[in-house]
């Protein structure tokens, strides 16, 4: 019997390895397959990143480091007619931050707050409230030196941005005409608003690379070319504006008036040389003002013109052919005229008796104006008022300009017509009234009031030249002895003017003790160059008459304006201060004392 011996170890090993060989190969193949799949996945992913989704991921990367930043531009400078700057843009720096970056260095927030003059706890709270944002203003429009000090602290996430801030060298003197801009340098009021598109320009844009802290590390290209704002030259004469402002302020202080306005127009062009209102505000610190102080009352507020309206009533009368400056005579009686149940009164004690149409202007007779109006065709009178732009805007382009109020002539009653004749029942602005008198001064030709120097401003004939010439002569008598505007005389210059003193309207009627002191004047009367209108609202100290309160303002401002504009005198041989005065028809008397009473006082129970 043969014994079966176990295989030797070497033989067994060879057999084991033989059996294991295919398994190893399978494992190796599996591993290699996995490696291949992973490699293919990586290649596919790389292909997706580099080719298929390249645009998306490039945009995502760019959004973190590539930025299109605005290139700020300077707003155009506003000049007065003589080239003096009235509004300029100065460079400033606004501090902004990436909130998450600053919060990561929270221990430096108190230091940052002190540099920005902010409360540390409030600053931290703002940063936390906007932690998900990449841009947050910390403080706007800092002086460059102060901003540089903040940036020099090198706080991560804190950056600066160049901007411009508006500065007004004349401050409160030109505030109502110019208006102001907001913190983003956009016009909000006045001519800054009216001409915002012209002044603002268009900001540019550039593509830049920023680091993770928001700092610009490279400027790549200009995307949009910046277009700086264009300059604007106004018709305003800063020198005359200062004269008007100072005189109005002195008058308001003296009389305790609620407010006052003055408008001065160039007769030949319609250009606004000055427009002043009180109270006023400083546009460089506008946050300390209130809305009532920021209103340009000369263009936006209306009032009843009182006796200054008589010039336009006489314009209708002369145009009708029924009246001349000297005929017919009008019986104003003893100062009382009962008409359709209404007592129309003149202030003159004992009445004015018989007056020529010129005398109605000289004495400012309410009765005379009413009787003239009664005799006129209603639509002629209405159309004359409308032709002088009463009841509609002057189209000056000033934002918020009021149109006033004039009742449709087709609905006028006879008593209303009589009352309208001496300035009650209609509303006008100071600018409208000045434009009306400038039309009379320019031989009956009306120009649209303009705030821009040298614009093409053709005129429109409103009344015949001979009518306008006669009206100027009639208005000139008010500065003669016995007239209502003797305190508006200007040495060596003839002055044509009309005064007005109107009760202020209030709920339920008219105030007994509150007045508008109004004055409208033309100078020089012989060759008109300037027209001025002065409104003083509710003077409570001293006189309240237009001739006494507003007339001297006109005289003082115009005397200076005539010298500044080098307008030659036209009245040297006719009168001088303190001496005899001659009218065009000869010697008529001496200058009355400065405290002589005016004859333009309102009736007690207006209208």
Residues 6+ apart with CB under 8 A from 329: 354, 355, 356
Report how far residue 374's alpha carbon sits from residue 20's, in angstroms, rounded to the nearest whole number.
134
What tokens were used for 538?
């509710």
CB 306 within 8 A of CB 433: no
Neighbour count for residue 29 (Cβ, 10 Å): 10
Among residues 94, 307, 396, 450, the one annotated as catalytic is 307
Report how far residue 26's alpha carbon sits from residue 566's, in angstroms, rounded to the nearest whole number.
113
What tokens were used for 560?
């200076």
Pairing mode, strands 78-79 and 232-233 = parallel
What Å distances lie between residue 226 and 160, 200, 585, CA to CA?
20, 11, 66
**Annotation marks residue 307 as catalytic:** yes
Pairing mode, strands 460-461 and 496-506 = unpaired
Give start and end residues of each alpha helix (H) in 179-218.
190-194, 196-200
CB 517 within 8 A of CB 536: yes
Report how far residue 411's alpha carbon sits from residue 140's, in angstroms, rounded to the nearest whole number.
57
CA proximity to 498, closest of 543, 436, 559:
436
Cα atoms in the Cβ-side hemisphere of radius 13 Å centred on 400: 18
CB 352 within 8 A of CB 345: no
What tokens were used for 533?
């209108």
- SS3 for 43-105, per residue? HHHHHHHHHHCHHHHHHHHHHHHEEEEEECCCCCCEECCCCCEEEEEEEEEEEEECHHHHHCC
What Å distances lie between residue 455 and 192, 388, 449, 537, CA to CA?
18, 21, 11, 33
Annotated catalytic sites, by residue?
Answer: 307
């Amino acid at each position: 019997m043969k014994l079966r011996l176990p295989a030797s170890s070497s033989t067994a090993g060879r057999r084991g390895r033989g059996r294991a060989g295919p398994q190893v190969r399978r494992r190796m193949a599996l591993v290699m397959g996995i490696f291949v799949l992973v490699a293919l996945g990586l290649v596919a992913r790389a292909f997706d990143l580099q080719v298929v989704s390249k645009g998306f991921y490039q945009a995502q990367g760019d959004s973190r480091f590539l930025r299109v930043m605005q290139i700020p531009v300077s707003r155009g400078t506003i000049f007065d007619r003589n080239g003096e700057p009235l509004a300029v843009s100065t460079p400033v720096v606004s501090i902004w931050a990436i909130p998450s970056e600053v919060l990561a260095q929270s221990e430096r927030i108190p230091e940052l707050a002190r540099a920005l003059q902010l409360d540390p706890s409030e600053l931290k709270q703002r940063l936390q409230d906007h932690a998900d944002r990449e841009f947050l203003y910390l403080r706007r429009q800092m002086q460059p030196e102060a901003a540089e000090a903040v940036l020099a602290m090198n706080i991560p996430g804190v950056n600066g941005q160049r901007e411009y801030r508006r500065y007004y060298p004349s401050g409160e003197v030109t505030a109502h005409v110019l208006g102001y801009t907001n913190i983003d340098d956009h016009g909000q009021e006045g001519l800054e608003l009216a001409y915002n598109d012209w002044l603002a320009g268009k900001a540019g844009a550039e593509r830049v690379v920023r680091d993770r802290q928001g700092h610009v590390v490279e400027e790549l290209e200009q995307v949009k070319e910046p277009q700086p704002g264009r300059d604007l030259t106004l018709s305003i004469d800063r020198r005359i504006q200062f004269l008007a402002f100072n005189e109005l302020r002195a008058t308001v202080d003296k009389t305790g008036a609620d407010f006052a306005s003055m408008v001065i127009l160039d007769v030949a062009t319609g250009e606004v040389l000055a427009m002043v209102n009180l109270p006023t505000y400083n546009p460089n610190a506008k946050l300390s003002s209130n809305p009532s102080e920021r209103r340009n009352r000369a263009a936006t507020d209306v009032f009843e013109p009182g006796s200054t309206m008589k010039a336009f009533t006489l314009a209708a009368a002369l145009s009708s052919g029924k009246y001349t400056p000297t005929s017919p005579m009008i019986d104003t009686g003893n100062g009382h005229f009962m008409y359709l149940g209404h007592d129309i009164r003149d202030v003159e004690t004992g009445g004015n008796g018989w007056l020529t149409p010129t005398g109605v202007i000289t004495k400012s007779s309410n009765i005379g104006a009413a009787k003239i109006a009664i005799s006129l065709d209603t639509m002629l009178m209405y159309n004359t008022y409308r032709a002088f732009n009463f009841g509609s805007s002057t189209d000056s382009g000033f934002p918020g300009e009021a149109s006033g109020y004039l009742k449709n002539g087709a609905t006028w009653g006879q008593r209303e017509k009589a009352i309208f004749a001496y300035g009650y029942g209609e509303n006008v602005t100071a600018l409208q009234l000045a434009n009306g008198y400038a039309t009379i001064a320019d031989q009956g030709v009306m120009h649209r009031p303009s705030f821009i120097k040298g614009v093409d401003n053709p005129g429109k004939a409103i009344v015949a030249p001979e009518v306008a010439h006669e009206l100027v002569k009639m208005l000139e008598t008010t500065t003669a002895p016995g007239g209502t505007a003797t305190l508006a005389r200007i040495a060596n210059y003839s002055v044509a003017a009309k005064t007005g003193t109107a009760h202020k309207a209030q709920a339920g009627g008219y105030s007994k003790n509150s007045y508008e002191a109004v004055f409208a004047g033309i100078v020089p009367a012989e060759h008109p160059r300037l027209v001025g209108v002065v409104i003083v609202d509710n003077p409570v100290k001293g006189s309240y008459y237009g001739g006494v309160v507003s007339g001297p303002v006109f005289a003082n401002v115009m005397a200076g304006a005539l010298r500044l504009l080098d307008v030659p005198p036209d009245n040297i041989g006719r009168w001088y201060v303190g001496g005899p005065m001659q009218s065009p028809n000869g010697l008529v008397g001496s200058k009355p004392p400065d405290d002589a009473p005016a004859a333009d006082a309102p009736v007690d129970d207006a209208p």
